[in-house]
């Protein structure tokens, strides 16, 4: 530029040049402002919706109001499980920064007596959750806790007290296994795709769901629709004065009427309570429709632990104890205990043999007594010479059934095992039912399949010199897997590779009572109409039995079954179950405990009793299992008697028994002193292992 080289200063030229440079600054200013306005356009016009949502999420907090679960009643409308109102202390997850958490945990541990480690885990788990959720840190808050929270409202706005209904099991451990218990849905359950309680199905952390029993099976009926409170909060999570924008009231879950009868249930509980080993089960059903009247399993638990004390250190210890106890109190023996059915099974064999024409109603005398099959001696305690089938049932003649089984053969036998649907779950409306083991050739083959495979492999890999020995071994194993006469004889009277759950035997007993008509055992009577957890209106719901079936049984054959079982009570092995005027029919059984060590109490045999009454128009079917009482079925029959007796007197409006007679008749030893019971000792007891 010309002026650049000119050292003399010209004010006019200077201002002219400065003016040009000022113009440049002006353009720079315009460019900068254009950029800022473009950015504002981008934020406020193009993307405003997203930011608006985020601003809303910032200022509105949704506080859930949990809905109480529906009440569970017995069949007569007596409440068994209710919900009561209480308070939870919750921590607003969003308002606690990770870095602040340790300090917060110390504070809570100190003032609320909350376990610090548990709190840390809970805080961690909540990270997978939607941000507005709050986490429950203490249930059943005390007055003191509530006062503390209120006093520190301003200082710690993230800690709040919220109303929460608490599940109350009115009778403690009564019917605990049937009713089940509730608890918070676990993160694992939430994450499981297609799980019953997955996030996709609308469950969220903190939801109280059924964990076991009816509570779990009918969770969709019992769970209500949670309400919510939408409130305005500031950046520290403090709810603003008059900050409630909207309250949606919770809708309680639907009431559920079970088939249980509180009176029968109480009687059954009383009888299970006195079982000598503290283990056993009683189940009562209406054979006319499969409705379960009572279900008791021992050892038991108090479901209130799970609903009310799950977050206190003592409650946590209690729950841990329940879960790790070797006696397995959380295990529902009625549907999860699998035991050899023993002599209760003889009726199955009888019905099969009569139907298949192996014996006939008029020609059915078979030799009783011990038997030698190959190298195996099969002892029989009984020897009634050549009894007829009714005597064989009533007096439980083992030898009779060894020979009857052998005479019938496995094909026919298997056909009837399958017709009675042993080895299949009954489909009772409870989660976790086991299916038992059916004594069939398939079962035996399957139990040997691994050994055969191993032997086959050994043969394939064997050196030429070793081949013969390996081949011999394979053939030996294959032969072992084959059905033998010994299997046939022991299966015919309920031993061998044979296991049933009490509920399977109960359905079977109902079928025997009803001349072959089998109903699915169930606990749901009806559910009241109402709103489900997703807000849909639901009509009154009844149980629909889609799985009932019948086993072919002619009137003649049914008559033999009835006579045999009535005979067992009148003059046979089940005399202790007799109730004057009620015509109880029953069959005892002993489930052998297969063990090399028979000395300990734990390895004593289990005593079965299957029964129904009255004989001609059955009202109840009842199964008693008393575990590890040792030799004899005399431990179960008196328990059935006590329950029948109570029921009979109540329904016929008779005066209740006096205390003394009641005690005498229901005590386990009482039956053993009666003459009938002594014959009961002749129940099947072959001392062989398989």
Partner 1 sequence: MVNVNRRYVADFDWTLFSLALGLAVFGVIEISSVQPSPGLWRRQLVGVGIGLVLMFLITLHDYRRILNAAPYLYAIGIALLLLVQTPLGKEVNNNRSWLELGSFSFQPSEMAKIFTLMLLAYYLAGVRKRPLDLRTVVVAVGIWALPTALVFWENDTGSALSFTSFLAAMLFLAGVRWSWMAAALVAVVIAVIVVAPRIKNCETYKCERVKSVYWPDLAKKRYRYQNEQAEIAVGSGAILGKGPRGSTQGGLGFLPEVHNDFIFAVASEEWGFIGSSLSLATYLMIIARLIQIARRSRERTGMLLVAGLAALLLYHVTVNVGMVVRLLPIMGIPLPLMSFGSTSVVATCFGLGLAISVRLRRFVN
The stretch among 10-18, 158-166, 342-350, 389-397 that binds partner 1 (CB under 8 A) is: 10-18
Residue with tokens 């509920």: 503
Binds partner 1 (CB under 8 A): choice among 92, 124, 175, 232: 232
The stretch among 42-50, 272-280, 362-370, 439-447 that binds partner 1 (CB under 8 A) is: 42-50
Nearer to partner 1 (CB atom), residue 17 or residue 517 = 17
Cis status, amide bond into 544, omega within 30 of 0: no
DSSP label at residue 242: E
CA distances from 576 to 234, 276, 398, 664 (A): 74, 17, 20, 12
Nearer to partner 1 (CB atom), residue 9 or residue 154 = 9
Categorise residue 653: left if φ over 0, alpha if ψ from -120 to 50, beta otherwise: left
Instruction: Give the separation between CA 179 and CA 215, rounded to whole angstroms.
Output: 6
Binds partner 1 (CB under 8 A): choice among 2, 19, 340, 529: 19
User: Which ranges of 284-345 would DSSP assign to H, the alpha helix?
Assistant: 304-308, 313-324, 333-336
Q: Give the pairing type, strands 606-613 and 549-550.
A: unpaired
Asked if residue 234 binds partner 1 (CB under 8 A), the reply is yes
Number of CB atoms found within 10 A of residue 181's CB: 26
Angle at 257 (CA atoms; ends 167, 166), nearest 5 degrees: 5
The CB-of-104 to partner 1 minimum distance in angstroms stands at: 17
Nearer to partner 1 (CB atom), residue 104 or residue 347 = 104
Asked if residue 40 binds partner 1 (CB under 8 A), the reply is yes
Instruction: Give the separation between CA 531 and CA 252, rounded to whole angstroms.
Output: 8
Do 564 and 393 meet the contact criterion of CB atoms below 8 Å apart?
A: yes
Per-residue x/- marks for partner 1, 71-110, CB under 8 A? --------------------------x-------------
CA distances from 331 to 16, 171, 431, 434, 627 (A): 99, 19, 11, 11, 14
Asked if residue 31 binds partner 1 (CB under 8 A), the reply is no
Instruction: Give the separation between CA 118 and CA 121, rounded to whole angstroms.
Output: 5
The CB-of-150 to partner 1 minimum distance in angstroms stands at: 22
Do 284 and 294 meet the contact criterion of CB atoms below 8 Å apart?
A: yes
Asked if residue 14 binds partner 1 (CB under 8 A), the reply is yes
Both tokens assigned to 585: 């029919």
The stretch among 54-62, 133-141, 153-161, 535-543 that binds partner 1 (CB under 8 A) is: 54-62
Binds partner 1 (CB under 8 A): choice among 235, 546, 596, 689: 235
The CB-of-121 to partner 1 minimum distance in angstroms stands at: 23
Instruction: Give the separation between CA 445 and CA 441, rounded to whole angstroms.
Output: 6
The CB-of-159 to partner 1 minimum distance in angstroms stands at: 19
Instruction: Give the separation between CA 219 and CA 469, rounded to whole angstroms.
Output: 59
Q: What is the DSSP string of 560-629?
A: HHHHHHHHHHHTSTTGGG--TTT--EEEEEEE----S--SSGGGSPEEEEEEEESSSS--EEEEEEETT-
Nearer to partner 1 (CB atom), residue 155 or residue 363 = 155
The CB-of-206 to partner 1 minimum distance in angstroms stands at: 25
The stretch among 36-44, 476-484, 498-506, 596-604 that binds partner 1 (CB under 8 A) is: 36-44
Nearer to partner 1 (CB atom), residue 35 or residue 120 = 35
Instruction: Give the separation between CA 589 and CA 341, rounded to whole angstroms.
Output: 7
Binds partner 1 (CB under 8 A): choice among 2, 45, 241, 600: 45
The CB-of-120 to partner 1 minimum distance in angstroms stands at: 20
The CB-of-116 to partner 1 minimum distance in angstroms stands at: 25
Nearer to partner 1 (CB atom), residue 50 or residue 385 = 50
Buried b / exposed e across 10-30, counting CB within 10 Å, b at 16+?
eeeeeeeeeeeeeeeeeeeee
Binds partner 1 (CB under 8 A): choice among 135, 179, 208, 233: 233
Binds partner 1 (CB under 8 A): choice among 22, 146, 594, 688: 22
Q: Give the pairing type, strands 256-258 and 72-73.
A: parallel
The stretch among 231-239, 266-274, 512-520, 593-601 that binds partner 1 (CB under 8 A) is: 231-239
Do 444 and 537 meet the contact criterion of CB atoms below 8 Å apart?
A: no
Asked if residue 131 binds partner 1 (CB under 8 A), the reply is no
Nearer to partner 1 (CB atom), residue 35 or residue 534 = 35
Do 677 and 634 meet the contact criterion of CB atoms below 8 Å apart?
A: yes
Instruction: Give the separation between CA 556 and CA 631, rounded to whole angstroms.
Output: 34
Q: How many chain residues interact with partner 1 (CB under 8 A)? A: 47
The CB-of-155 to partner 1 minimum distance in angstroms stands at: 16
Per-residue x/- marks for partner 1, 550-589, CB under 8 A? ----------------------------------------
Angle between the N-to-C axes of helices 467-480 and 441-461, in degrees from 0 to 180, rounded to the nearest 10: 170
The stretch among 3-11, 78-86, 109-117, 455-463 that binds partner 1 (CB under 8 A) is: 3-11
Asked if residue 130 binds partner 1 (CB under 8 A), the reply is no
Nearer to partner 1 (CB atom), residue 19 or residue 544 = 19
Q: What is the DSSP string of 74-108?
A: -TTS-EEEEEEEEEEEEEEGGGS-GGGHHHHHHHH
The CB-of-13 to partner 1 minimum distance in angstroms stands at: 8
Asked if residue 472 binds partner 1 (CB under 8 A), the reply is no
Asked if residue 52 binds partner 1 (CB under 8 A), the reply is yes
The CB-of-5 to partner 1 minimum distance in angstroms stands at: 9
Residue with tokens 């100190």: 110
The stretch among 230-238, 317-325, 330-338, 360-368 that binds partner 1 (CB under 8 A) is: 230-238
Number of CB atoms found within 10 A of residue 545's CB: 15
Q: H-helix or E-strand containing 479?
A: helix 467-480
The stretch among 29-37, 111-119, 320-328, 595-603 that binds partner 1 (CB under 8 A) is: 29-37
Instruction: Give the separation between CA 298 and CA 338, rounded to whole angstroms.
Output: 14
Instruction: Give the separation between CA 235 and CA 476, rounded to whole angstroms.
Output: 79
The CB-of-40 to partner 1 minimum distance in angstroms stands at: 5
Instruction: Give the separation between CA 449 and CA 57, rounded to whole angstroms.
Output: 61
Binds partner 1 (CB under 8 A): choice among 76, 103, 142, 240: 240
The CB-of-8 to partner 1 minimum distance in angstroms stands at: 9
Asked if residue 15 binds partner 1 (CB under 8 A), the reply is yes
Asked if residue 17 binds partner 1 (CB under 8 A), the reply is yes
Do 65 and 250 meet the contact criterion of CB atoms below 8 Å apart?
A: yes
Nearer to partner 1 (CB atom), residue 158 or residue 531 = 158
Nearer to partner 1 (CB atom), residue 36 or residue 130 = 36
Nearer to partner 1 (CB atom), residue 76 or residue 240 = 240
**Residues contributing to the site for partner 1 (CB under 8 A):** 1, 3-4, 6-7, 9, 11, 13-15, 17-19, 21-22, 25-26, 28-30, 32-33, 35-37, 39-41, 43-45, 47-48, 50-52, 54-55, 58-59, 97, 232-236, 240
């Amino acid at each position: 530029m010309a002026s650049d080289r000119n050292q003399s200063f010209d004010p006019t030229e200077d201002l002219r040049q400065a003016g040009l440079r000022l113009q440049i600054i002006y353009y720079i200013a315009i460019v900068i402002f254009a950029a800022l306005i473009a950015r504002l356009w981008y934020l406020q016009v193009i993307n405003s919706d997203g930011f608006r949502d985020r601003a809303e999420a910032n200022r509105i907090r949704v506080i859930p109001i949990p809905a109480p679960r529906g009440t569970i009643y017995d069949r007569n409308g007596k409440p068994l499980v209710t919900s009561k109102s209480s308070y939870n202390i919750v921590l607003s997850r969003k308002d606690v920064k990770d870095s602040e958490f340790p300090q917060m945990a110390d504070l809570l541990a100190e003032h609320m007596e909350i376990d610090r480690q548990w709190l840390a885990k809970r805080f961690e788990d909540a990270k997978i959750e939607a941000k507005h959720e709050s986490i429950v840190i203490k249930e059943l808050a005390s007055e003191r806790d509530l006062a503390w929270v209120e006093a520190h409202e301003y200082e710690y706005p993230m800690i709040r007290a919220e109303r929460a209904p608490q599940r109350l099991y009115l009778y403690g451990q009564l019917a605990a296994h049937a009713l089940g218990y509730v608890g918070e849905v676990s993160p694992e359950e939430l994450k499981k795709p297609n799980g019953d309680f997955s996030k996709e199905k609308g469950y969220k952390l903190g939801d109280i769901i059924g964990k076991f029993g009816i509570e779990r099976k009918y969770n969709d009926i019992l769970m209500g629709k949670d309400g919510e409170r939408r409130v305005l909060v500031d950046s520290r999570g403090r709810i603003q004065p008059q900050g409630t924008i909207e309250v949606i009231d919770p809708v309680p879950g639907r009431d559920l009427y079970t088939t249980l009868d509180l009176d029968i249930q109480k009687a059954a509980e009383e009888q299970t309570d006195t079982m000598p080993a503290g283990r056993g089960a009683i189940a009562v059903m209406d054979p006319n429709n499969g409705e379960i009247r009572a279900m008791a399993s021992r050892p038991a638990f108090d479901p209130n632990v799970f609903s009310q004390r799950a977050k206190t250190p003592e409650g946590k210890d209690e729950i841990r104890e329940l879960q790790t106890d070797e006696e397995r109190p959380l295990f529902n023996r009625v549907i999860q205990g699998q035991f050899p059915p023993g002599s209760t099974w003889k009726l199955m064999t009888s019905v099969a043999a009569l139907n298949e024409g192996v014996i006939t109603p008029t020609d059915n005398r078979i030799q009783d007594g011990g038997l030698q099959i190959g190298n195996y001696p099969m002892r029989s305690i009984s020897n009634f010479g050549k009894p007829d089938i009714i005597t064989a049932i009533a007096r439980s003649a083992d030898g009779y059934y060894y020979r009857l089984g052998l005479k019938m053969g496995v094909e026919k036998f298997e056909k009837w095992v399958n017709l009675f649907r042993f080895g299949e779950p009954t489909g009772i409306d409870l989660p976790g039912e086991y299916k038992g083991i059916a004594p069939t050739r398939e079962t035996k083959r399957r139990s040997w399949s691994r050994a055969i495979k191993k032997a086959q492999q050994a043969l394939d890999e064997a050196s030429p010199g070793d081949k013969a020995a390996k081949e011999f071994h394979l053939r030996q194993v294959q032969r072992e897997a084959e059905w033998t006469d010994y299997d046939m004889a022991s299966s015919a009277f309920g031993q061998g590779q044979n296991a049933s759950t009490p509920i399977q035997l109960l359905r079977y007993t109902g079928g025997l009572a009803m001349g072959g008509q089998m109903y699915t055992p169930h606990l749901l009577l009806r559910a009241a109409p109402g709103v489900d957890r997703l807000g849909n209106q639901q009509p009154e719901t009844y149980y629909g039995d889609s799985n009932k079936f019948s086993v072919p049984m002619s009137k003649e054959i049914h008559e033999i079954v009835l006579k045999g079982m009535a005979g067992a009570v009148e003059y046979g092995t089940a005399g202790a179950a007799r109730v004057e005027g009620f015509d109880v029919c029953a069959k005892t059984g002993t489930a052998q405990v297969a063990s090399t060590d028979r000395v300990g109490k734990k390895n004593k045999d289990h005593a079965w009793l299957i029964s129904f009454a009255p004989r001609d128009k059955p009202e109840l079917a009842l199964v008693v299992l008393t575990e590890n009482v040792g030799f004899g079925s005399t431990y179960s029959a008196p328990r059935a008697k006590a329950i029948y007796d109570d029921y009979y007197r109540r329904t016929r409006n008779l005066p209740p028994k006096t205390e003394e007679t009641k005690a005498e008749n229901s005590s386990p030893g009482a039956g053993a002193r009666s003459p009938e019971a002594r014959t009961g000792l002749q129940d099947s007891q072959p001392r062989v292992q398989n």
